[in-house]
Amino acid sequence: MVKRKFMEIRVLFFGVLAEVTQTMFKHYRDIASFNDLMYRIRDEFPEIIHYNYRIAVNSEMVNEDPQLKNLDEVAFMPPFAGG
């Protein structure tokens, strides 16, 4: 059996997504990849697929499918509305 390296990821939800998930922070353990994290989040919060969002990893904007490391912070951000 192939032994995989699993990660602990801290997830932040902002704006309307904090309301949809009813939380601003969540820890996920045993995450294998970004896709795995997305699968877990969509499974837990199915409504999230109805919203647009951008992703930041460790306070840097990223494109889809970023490479994650253990203890990374992944932020889900709805369209910005400052001012």
Partner 1 sequence: MIIKEINMTESILTEGPITRNTISSRLGALSENKNLGGHSVFIGQVRNDVKGLKRVMAIEYSAYPELANREAEKIRQEILNEFTDVKELNIIHSTGRVMAGEVSLFVLVSGGHRQQAIAACAKTVELIKEKLPVWKKELFEDNTHEWINENPA
**22: contact with partner 1 by CB under 8 A:** no
Which member of 12, 32, 38, 55 binds partner 1 (CB under 8 A)?
12
**15: contact with partner 1 by CB under 8 A:** yes
Which DSSP string corresponds to 20-48?
HHT-SEEEEEEE-SHHHHHHHHHHH-GGG
Q: What gap in Å lies between CA 41 and CA 31, rounded to an integer?
A: 11
* Closer of 52 and 67 to partner 1 (Cβ): 52
**28: contact with partner 1 by CB under 8 A:** no
Reported as type and span, the H/E element at residue 17 is: helix 16-21
Amino acid at site 4: R
**49: contact with partner 1 by CB under 8 A:** yes
Q: Which residues bind partner 1 (CB under 8 A)?
A: 12, 14-16, 18-19, 49-52, 56, 59-61, 75, 77-83
